[in-house]
Structure 1
Amino acid sequence: MTISMSNQTAVTEFILLGFPGLQPIFFLPVSLTMFVAYIVSLIANSTVIILIILREQLHHPMYIIIANLALSDLLFDTITLPKIIAKYWFGAGSISFNWCFFQVFCVHNLGSLDSFIIMLMAIDRYVAICKPLRYHSIISNKLVTLLCYLCWVIASIIGLAITLNAVQLPYCGPNRVKSCFCSNAVLIILACIDASLERRKGFIIAICVHLFPLAVIVLSYILIIRVVHLSANNGNWQKAFYTCTTHLIVIGLYFIPRLFLYIISQAPVTLDADTNVLIISIFTFIPHFASPITFCLRTKKIRNILAQMFKSICPRSENKSGTLVKRHCTSIQFNVHEMPMYKNSL
């Protein structure tokens, strides 16, 4: 596990503990929960990406943004979840030094990317609702694609900066990571020297990365609610607000726990290790399989495409007199409220 270095030893691998206080009797249910979450995320996000790529009617700005969010979430889960599941199933909790810091890069890169992508989605909705007649002249596929590329580049730079901030420290003793994956915060505390300055640097970068997109999202939704409230009648106002709340729930689930942890990490209050890991897991993994449902299955075009796919897989049967007999599969109906201003973009 270690290699001798002058008067100290250098850590060559870390041990992922997951939930440090978890009793062995709960290993199976916890790991099965993670496995199910990964499979759902894998299927849901892969379906979204494939549909948006293959279906020409989905080649619109909003769906390009959604595809980028789905790809980010899919990569995040694939890089982190299989390792911690293997720890609980096979006792393979060790992770090499280089792979651990690769996880650090990916975690902060993709985490930052999610913030930027959700911000782009809020901006797209603002233009579609507040400036519907100018939507297609302002928002185009080319512009959105360029903005998404820019978000990937900026997020990669942020991930690299946070990784370099942590990897430059000497790790020569403790190597037990109290988390389900490697990240800047859980590794810096294992350094052999006082890393207060590095902790502050990481905190400042993380706060800026999340507060700026959150401020843009909040401002866009204030303007959206104001415009809808002033222009729509009571019935349409309720439908529009219902549609907005689905997005706001995912935003709250993603941003609030993360900002809470960042603030707590700088306060004298110390959270229980298992509570800390639970909060991290909630804000990290739940939005990854909730967002495809919230952002995609509630849109008319994707619902119609999925319905057509189910009909082609499960065709109806007819008897000799031409009347219908029992269907091979139960029909699925979606009854959600659509925002009137979105008919052109959805």
Structure 2
Amino acid sequence: MQIMVNQSDIFEVILVGFPGLPDHLYNFVSAVMLLVYIISLVANGSVIILVSLNVQLHKPMYLIIANLAASDLLFDTLTLPKLVARYWFGSSTMSFHVCVFQMFWIHHLGSLDSYLLLLMAIDRYVAVSQPLKYSTIITNQKVFVACGFSWLILAPSTKILTVIDALSIVLCSSNKINTLFCTNVSVLALACNDVAIKKQAAFTSAMIVLLLPLAFILLSYAMIISVIAKSAHVNNWKKAFYTCSLHLFLVALYYIPRIFNYIVTNIPLVVIKADVNAVLLFLYSVVPHLANPIVYFLQTKEIQQTLGNILKMLRF
């Protein structure tokens, strides 16, 4: 029989990280996490700085990329240093309320990435289908408002209920977060009271946030391909295929593991091992944050030129 306790009685939770990880691998994992964070810090930070400093990059597409980089960098800052501390220094505890705070931002930024990828797909569709009217349809001001709305209203509004649900649970004597960081599923797993309705509501919200933008993203790229298919220029085909394939790679990297994990964990008779779940969480939460800036650096000549000019200036 589990013992029910007040939140004030359990003021700390234990972050397990990768369940079942042997002790002799702790230093290796912490070093990998630190390296991943440094790469994310440098790559995403560079995108933000370059777009901010170069007036020529003050264009809708680059503003969206900079917002995506800021979201990814904030996510990694809220999660990876704690994982490094957990494995390097044995600092595995945090207060329950800090855990809920981390949970809110994790889901908030995950939703935000979804909306920003949608804005990026819309931007590309208008650029391809209405090249002459693009500058009047997609403006910096409209993108700024859309990104601000996503940051301040759209993404948070879907996660406030998640926080309320987490703070209203009755905690059990077990206080282990059996994964890499605090998520809605891992926090609700600490509850003694019946949270089936809360889990169902969280799953429904996640599917709406993920599947609706994904549907529009896929529709946008399908329409882009349709527009290019009508073009007689071979170069247009090559350029469109290159651009779409890179963007769709990032979309797949973000959505496929995330949707798979959400769906499978909500099938009653299917049980995913905690280690597998942790790896999936890392795959869809952190890996895209490394891939996004690298892909955009490779794809965007303006960003490459800006970086090259800055490096030349630093040499002298």
Query: 1:67 maps to which residue?
Result: 66
Alpha-carbon distance between aligned partners in 2 of 1:294 and 1:232, rounded to the nearest angstrom: 28
CA contact under 8 A between 2:103 and 2:184: conserved in structure 1?
A: yes
Alpha-carbon distance between aligned partners in 1 of 2:5 and 2:251, rounded to the nearest angstrom: 49
Query: 2:209 maps to which residue?
Result: 209
Residue 111 (1) aligns with residue 110 (2) = yes
Alpha-carbon distance between aligned partners in 1 of 2:41 and 2:98, rounded to the nearest angstrom: 22
State the TM-score, normalizing by the size of structure 1: 0.87
SS of 2:17's equivalent? coil
Residue 264 (1) aligns with residue 247 (2) = no
Query: 2:253 maps to which residue?
Result: 253
Using the aligned pairs only, state the percent identity: 46
SS of 1:259's equivalent? helix
Deviations 1:301-332 (A, max 9, x none): 111111112222336xxxxxxxxxxxxxxxxx
Residue 224 of structure 1, CA deviation: 0.5
Query: 2:236 maps to which residue?
Result: 236
Alpha-carbon distance between aligned partners in 2 of 1:34 and 1:282, rounded to the nearest angstrom: 13
Query: 1:226 maps to which residue?
Result: 226
Q: Give the aligned residue type for 1:206.
A: A
Query: 1:40 maps to which residue?
Result: 39
Query: 1:163 maps to which residue?
Result: 163
Residue 8 of structure 1, CA deviation: 9.8
Alpha-carbon distance between aligned partners in 2 of 1:256 and 1:131, rounded to the nearest angstrom: 30
Alpha-carbon distance between aligned partners in 2 of 1:134 and 1:236, rounded to the nearest angstrom: 18
Alpha-carbon distance between aligned partners in 2 of 1:173 and 1:248, rounded to the nearest angstrom: 44
Query: 1:338 maps to which residue?
Result: none
Residue 238 of structure 1, CA deviation: 2.6
Query: 2:307 maps to which residue?
Result: 306
Alpha-carbon distance between aligned partners in 2 of 1:102 and 1:313, rounded to the nearest angstrom: 40
SS of 2:171's equivalent? coil
Structure 2 matches for 1:69-84, cutoff 5 A?
69-84=68-83
CA contact under 8 A between 2:15 and 2:93: conserved in structure 1?
A: yes
SS of 1:15's equivalent? strand
| Unaligned 5+ runs, structure 1 | 316-346
Residue 232 of structure 1, CA deviation: 4.2
Higher share in helix: 2
SS of 2:133's equivalent? helix
What RMSD, in angstroms, separates the aligned Cα atoms of the two structures? 1.7
Alpha-carbon distance between aligned partners in 1 of 2:298 and 2:139, rounded to the nearest angstrom: 23
CA contact under 8 A between 2:175 and 2:190: conserved in structure 1?
A: yes
Alpha-carbon distance between aligned partners in 2 of 1:249 and 1:161, rounded to the nearest angstrom: 32
Larger Rg computed on CA atoms: 1
Query: 2:57 maps to which residue?
Result: 58
CA contact under 8 A between 1:107 and 1:159: conserved in structure 2?
A: no
CA contact under 8 A between 1:64 and 1:144: conserved in structure 2?
A: yes
Alpha-carbon distance between aligned partners in 1 of 2:235 and 2:155, rounded to the nearest angstrom: 41
Once structures 1 and 2 are overlaid, which stretch shifts more, 297-306 or 269-278? 297-306
CA contact under 8 A between 1:165 and 1:202: conserved in structure 2?
A: no
CA contact under 8 A between 2:61 and 2:123: conserved in structure 1?
A: yes
In structure 2, relative to structure 1, the CA distance for the partners of 1:8 and 1:218 (3 Å cut) is closer
SS of 2:191's equivalent? coil
Residue 29 (1) aligns with residue 56 (2) = no
State the TM-score, normalizing by the size of structure 2: 0.95
Residue 125 (1) aligns with residue 128 (2) = no
Query: 1:322 maps to which residue?
Result: none
Once structures 1 and 2 are overlaid, which stretch shifts more, 98-107 or 154-163? 154-163
Alpha-carbon distance between aligned partners in 1 of 2:161 and 2:98, rounded to the nearest angstrom: 17
Alpha-carbon distance between aligned partners in 2 of 1:36 and 1:26, rounded to the nearest angstrom: 15
Q: Give the aligned residue type for 2:182.
A: C
Deviations 1:87-125 (A, max 9, x none): 000000001111100001100111100000010000000
Residue 296 of structure 1, CA deviation: 3.6
Alpha-carbon distance between aligned partners in 2 of 1:131 and 1:65, rounded to the nearest angstrom: 19
Deviations 1:150-195 (A, max 9, x none): 1112111222221212221111311111111101011111101121
CA contact under 8 A between 1:10 and 1:172: conserved in structure 2?
A: no
In structure 2, relative to structure 1, the CA distance for the partners of 1:23 and 1:60 (3 Å cut) is same
Residue 186 (1) aligns with residue 178 (2) = no
Alpha-carbon distance between aligned partners in 2 of 1:19 and 1:8, rounded to the nearest angstrom: 25
Residue 48 of structure 1, CA deviation: 0.8
In structure 2, relative to structure 1, the CA distance for the partners of 1:8 and 1:53 (3 Å cut) is closer
* Equivalent pairs, count: 312
Alpha-carbon distance between aligned partners in 2 of 1:132 and 1:284, rounded to the nearest angstrom: 34
In structure 2, relative to structure 1, the CA distance for the partners of 1:241 and 1:15 (3 Å cut) is same
SS of 1:95's equivalent? strand
CA contact under 8 A between 1:9 and 1:173: conserved in structure 2?
A: no
Alpha-carbon distance between aligned partners in 1 of 2:111 and 2:239, rounded to the nearest angstrom: 31
